[in-house]
Structure 1
């Protein structure tokens, strides 16, 4: 009887496996963020302290903090009818935000409009002119700022005001600066009342034009960009403040060297002062400075940070809700990202959080400032949990209950919050909790969109770094229908650089669906977050300083040691693939460890850090003049002679991040060294390949591994895999 049961179980298991879908390349690329994306409630957000709104079936719904307290707020038809009265065209419900309990702000095409929920009418509609870019709306001032060409404009009450009048080539106002480093994402900053607009003025006239070529025209055309390379002249930035009532502009008298960095702009509560983190070009000394809005004079330096490596301010200060002379400062001052409370004289009131873990989000405080609310890695570097911190005594409470990655959205007074989270086996759900962590009810749960697919086993393993003490985390995906008695080829997917963490406890451990596709073709996929990657503290990240690629490669090889210890890993068939910093790491591994890696695909790779941009490159490497040995050792051109395996480089022709020059120089050196490599270019793409063309890219990469990492005669043709 037992024998019959075992045979039947094996038969049912085999039948189930054959009935499941195999991941196709189209599923892996196009489906990842469309039909295979786990859906929850659309545009869920707080309307008031006890009401949430979301969109479903072309209708905006309202739901209360009591379960099933749901009602229709406004239908798509009614909204479109109200919009038409203001000559606003809503084909569907556009993106919107809640301004307060009675108003919604819609952003549709070139129109920003305010809808009053009480009378179901549009109170304000600002139509942005044709050609305007980067609009920035001030709800309080009922104004929108935008850029046309190189100048900044404001539209208010149907009247357009021109803020700047720049005519010299190379000067632009109102756009992001410093190549989006230091947490910079935009170039305009409205004051709380909407009376003032702070904006960046960037002068790039002293930076040499870098030629990008558009080959898609009848005659190829040059489209130059400003690209300051490490050690070269960088652009110069100032911060202006425009008064919408007087029409006058004042520029802050920041002084100092022309090529310093102006970051983390914050308005004071009463708009008398504005605050800015200023970083020297060496990026090892930061001052948080206070300026008077009227006149732009510097009042004082509130605090400073200096390090022998680098200081990287990323978060503007947040002022207290109960004391205008105190603010919260989120920084890595003690080696880990933590939250501090200071006063505007620069006195440290207290350090709110402390420990060998990182605050990864600071949500703010309740109205009376009894508690501060954070997201952090306190339990594990793989997880993100929501905590509240008692501001008076520092006690910390975890507010969620399940392992995974949690992100909170708090109600206006921090009475409740929505907890949107996922974990390895949880595609995502959103729960409603009180600010003390009590579960009110589950709002939504995403369906498992991969339930019908046969997937390889996905697991996280812990390793020890090359320093012999530090924990590393790796993700391994085994082939479908895995047989431990067989030997399989392995592809190492690598990044390894700052600001990126590839292995996390989210759905499927943050794996890319392409990994599952390759697993279905008989490959093991393996990824290690080496030292140098994100969210593990200053010492973990800064080990790469002045020597990019060295310690990261050592840690990646600890992952290889682990792989080689497994009886089912074919040690003679190990490949590597990565993009950008990961492309650089692919070249490192292919040249520094040629006996290990048989095949490599390097996408958009940095080859020589001399040719990378100032802000990022000099932070981690200093200048080429200061660190010639480090630049020389990290230059992949100097390691081409050691290349043995099959290598393909892929590059976007319009890449403004890692310019095509990197790949061209590497190819030229390969010719000089009589090394055969392969190369593929994407003519209309920038730093990565997006849209439908990405299917072509992943076909190209997959086929390369099929051709050179599979054992003959099992070599596959990709057309048979679809």
Structure 2
């Protein structure tokens, strides 16, 4: 006889069994998933080059059949290809049957010619050299730009008739009609004189490598000259050959001599070079140069050595005569941005400033007289996207909603009609078309993969979602993932700090867990943002091992105005580590935290903070992983260090009182110190000095060096190896140290 109750019970049990089985089938993240297989890599929309008509863009598309790459034209509103502008098969030199394999491409302004780069060689973070080729779209003719050696930063003139480039520390240009090459400068010499590209410290700290600029009419080239003959050399040994090779380059450490920098303008028709008058004082910086809308008026930004006075100069490109039109003074330092934007027909310029306590946009006439402050409020502009002069509309990204979020806004040049265009919570990165009719929104938020969407401006109307990462979302549903949670707490002076937590998988509030505090903490930086953090998947992997990940943005970080950021001035490290120690103590009082097992991990400035935590933390931290740390700011470069600390000659105490080298004898806890021997940025010298100080103090520690690796310590199998090693260290010293059984 059929028993309904028994049947229902069996069905219920089957349902429970099915749910339990599905739950059990969830996978654990592995390090191979992260660092070898890129299992969790989000898809994006890259290689987008907006065309003059903002309704179209081009992108590189692989032709699998012919094993080449084509340049394809797409219609913006549909996202569909409408034409193949360049067939990869056509990129052949005369007499060759093999097409070039290009790294990147750039159209001339009329889109009739294309510059292709091949065989690119990386030099430093932003610098490289390559072989360049010019392709004529109409005739399909490919021509090598120069046969004199690889070129740097090859760039079309505005009319597309010429290409300028740097090579062997000199500046050149080629007339494309005749392919005649002209050498503009003659005095370039390695480690002595550089023309047309930045020296090491400008490239690293002022964030540009190309140092020449075509005038709007294409008749002039403005360029930098760096006389680095007095700058001391740094020597790195590069390993691999029978005898290690010395690599010597000019690197100005804090308080040492900088390059003497000058700006010149070369007039192509007259074949004449004129030096611009940047003043009698030579111990200065020139962090930005750009042409105004006037083809004979050059804009030069001049910054004093202490970086607390910035001046905008307007220079006559023919005579070299210059005058100061705007002066910005700060009691600490003035940040350098790319916000300076000139209006057409000498109608003035837009500039950003923190002079009211938050970074905002200001409109000035060409004489430097303030017309109006455009944006106001206790929030800051994080990026000025651009100005559409036709509609007199400015676009910018700001923190108005929250310091943890970044949203796109539009506002009139009059300062009226402000509107937020992005609605989804999180952080938005914008790629705007040249005609300001469309933009790509790369949206990121905590606990969800990023998306890429196309919008129409100025209304901000969604046209199409180009990438929603649905496949990744489905994949993540099959793994053990912990949510990122945000929190705030107050330190002793009543300042509120922001933080996030990633708790262990299957978190039990009745248990006590160890904590790994992830830190960067450097000036103007931010790690606590409404988006997936750096190293997110490693953090998830560690959460699966029963570790709480915590991150706190200390005083000195960005997104919260000038006062919060600049309180650390002249005492770099002092307030930052005090806040991290208070943060660890706050976490230690949470009912589910084992305060005897709190550790710290950081890279670069975060590596420095980790060493301070172990040496000045009074035993609060049980273990720390310090990667590529600065150990004494006297070892680091002039621009960055002196901006925040002044020179060692002017502020010796600010350097020494917050250097972990001088507190090695106070180190408590276990340390893993990692560095790359080929780090041109934070030199291996820092790790050597720290190890020597720890040895002198009879402190035991673990260390590891990566041969020839640069500051990121990556390449090949390096990341998998490094994160395996760091995980093993945490397992031995934090997750399950001797004398404990892990979770309590």
Give the TM-score normalised by structure 1: 0.91
Shift of 1:452: 5.2
What do residues 230-282 of structure 1 show as CA deviations (whole Å, max 9, x unaligned)?
Answer: 12222211112222223322221212322200122110212111011101101
Establish whether residue 398 from structure 1 lines up as the match of residue 420 from structure 2.
yes
Equivalent position SS for 2:509 = coil
Shift of 1:387: 0.7
Shift of 1:5: 9.3
Q: Look up the match of 2:282.
A: 258
Establish whether residue 301 from structure 1 lines up as the match of residue 320 from structure 2.
no
* Residue of structure 1 aligned with 2:30, choices 8, 24, 29: 24
Q: Look up the match of 1:144.
A: 163
Equivalent position SS for 1:688 = coil
Distance change in 2, residues 1:668/1:325 (3 Å): same
CA distance in 2, matches of 1:339, 1:503: 25
Counterpart mapping for 1:167-206 below 5 A: 170-177=192-199, 178-180=201-203, 181-206=205-230
- Does the Cα contact within 8 Å between 2:172 and 2:182 map onto a contact in 1? yes
Shift of 1:202: 1.0
- Does the Cα contact within 8 Å between 2:171 and 2:183 map onto a contact in 1? yes
* Residue of structure 2 aligned with 1:107, choices 107, 116, 123: 116
CA distance in 2, matches of 1:241, 1:46: 30
Q: Look up the match of 2:469.
A: 446
* Residue of structure 2 aligned with 1:432, choices 455, 458, 465: 455
- Does the Cα contact within 8 Å between 1:46 and 1:98 map onto a contact in 2? no
Q: Look up the match of 1:501.
A: 526
What do residues 430-475 of structure 1 show as CA deviations (whole Å, max 9, x unaligned)?
Answer: 1322311222333332234352552432323232353644443222
CA distance in 2, matches of 1:609, 1:16: 53
CA distance in 1, matches of 2:490, 2:98: 57
Distance change in 2, residues 1:16/1:280 (3 Å): same
Distance change in 2, residues 1:174/1:100 (3 Å): closer
Q: Look up the match of 1:478.
A: 503
Equivalent position SS for 1:670 = helix
- Does the Cα contact within 8 Å between 1:140 and 1:194 map onto a contact in 2? yes
- Does the Cα contact within 8 Å between 1:261 and 1:280 map onto a contact in 2? yes
CA distance in 2, matches of 1:246, 1:604: 50
- Does the Cα contact within 8 Å between 2:109 and 2:160 map onto a contact in 1? no
Distance change in 2, residues 1:194/1:19 (3 Å): farther
Q: Look up the match of 2:432.
A: 410
Equivalent position SS for 1:634 = coil
What do residues 652-694 of structure 1 show as CA deviations (whole Å, max 9, x unaligned)?
Answer: 1122212222222221111211111222111211222111222
More off after superposition, 136-145 vs 523-532: 136-145
Shift of 1:383: 1.4
Distance change in 2, residues 1:346/1:129 (3 Å): same
Equivalent position SS for 1:345 = coil
- Does the Cα contact within 8 Å between 1:465 and 1:530 map onto a contact in 2? no
* Residue of structure 2 aligned with 1:81, choices 82, 86, 90: 90
CA distance in 2, matches of 1:460, 1:391: 39
Q: Look up the match of 1:720.
A: none
Q: Look up the match of 1:574.
A: 598
- Does the Cα contact within 8 Å between 2:453 and 2:464 map onto a contact in 1? no
Equivalent position SS for 1:192 = coil
Distance change in 2, residues 1:8/1:711 (3 Å): farther
Q: Look up the match of 2:40.
A: 36
**RMSD (Å), alpha carbons:** 2.8
Establish whether residue 706 from structure 1 lines up as the match of residue 731 from structure 2.
yes
CA distance in 1, matches of 2:630, 2:691: 13
Identify unmatched segments of 5+ residues in structure 1.
717-722
- Does the Cα contact within 8 Å between 1:389 and 1:397 map onto a contact in 2? yes
Distance change in 2, residues 1:4/1:554 (3 Å): farther
What do residues 532-580 of structure 1 show as CA deviations (whole Å, max 9, x unaligned)?
Answer: 1223221121111111111111222343234223322221111111111
CA distance in 2, matches of 1:197, 1:88: 37
What do residues 397-448 of structure 1 show as CA deviations (whole Å, max 9, x unaligned)?
Answer: 0112211222223333222323222222242221322311222333332234
More off after superposition, 527-536 vs 490-499: 527-536
CA distance in 2, matches of 1:622, 1:489: 39
- Does the Cα contact within 8 Å between 1:340 and 1:348 map onto a contact in 2? yes
Establish whether residue 379 from structure 1 lines up as the match of residue 404 from structure 2.
no
Establish whether residue 332 from structure 1 lines up as the match of residue 336 from structure 2.
no
CA distance in 2, matches of 1:120, 1:441: 35
More off after superposition, 632-641 vs 101-110: 101-110
Distance change in 2, residues 1:445/1:712 (3 Å): closer
Q: Look up the match of 2:657.
A: 633
CA distance in 2, matches of 1:594, 1:521: 27
- Does the Cα contact within 8 Å between 2:198 and 2:210 map onto a contact in 1? yes
CA distance in 1, matches of 2:520, 2:577: 11
Q: Look up the match of 1:670.
A: 694
What do residues 114-169 of structure 1 show as CA deviations (whole Å, max 9, x unaligned)?
Answer: 553xx473587635643333433435343333332222222332222112112665
Distance change in 2, residues 1:345/1:219 (3 Å): same
Shift of 1:102: 4.8
Q: Look up the match of 2:378.
A: 356
More off after superposition, 7-16 vs 342-351: 7-16
Establish whether residue 166 from structure 1 lines up as the match of residue 187 from structure 2.
yes
Shift of 1:602: 0.8
* Residue of structure 2 aligned with 1:245, choices 248, 252, 269: 269
More off after superposition, 614-623 vs 442-451: 442-451
Distance change in 2, residues 1:101/1:296 (3 Å): closer
Identify unmatched segments of 5+ residues in structure 2.
64-69, 119-130
CA distance in 2, matches of 1:306, 1:648: 42
CA distance in 2, matches of 1:260, 1:190: 24
Counterpart mapping for 1:500-649 below 5 A: 500-506=525-531, 508-649=532-673
Distance change in 2, residues 1:54/1:661 (3 Å): closer
Counterpart mapping for 1:120-159 below 5 A: 121-122=140-141, 126-127=145-146, 129-157=148-176, 158-159=179-180
Establish whether residue 696 from structure 1 lines up as the match of residue 697 from structure 2.
no
Q: Look up the match of 1:365.
A: 387
CA distance in 2, matches of 1:663, 1:228: 19
CA distance in 1, matches of 2:468, 2:449: 9
Distance change in 2, residues 1:115/1:634 (3 Å): same
Q: Look up the match of 2:245.
A: 221
What do residues 625-665 of structure 1 show as CA deviations (whole Å, max 9, x unaligned)?
Answer: 21122222112122112112111211111222122222222
Q: Look up the match of 2:337.
A: 314
CA distance in 2, matches of 1:670, 1:167: 44
Shift of 1:316: 5.4
Give the TM-score normalised by structure 2: 0.88
CA distance in 1, matches of 2:438, 2:167: 41
- How many corresponding residue pairs? 707
Q: Look up the match of 1:488.
A: 513
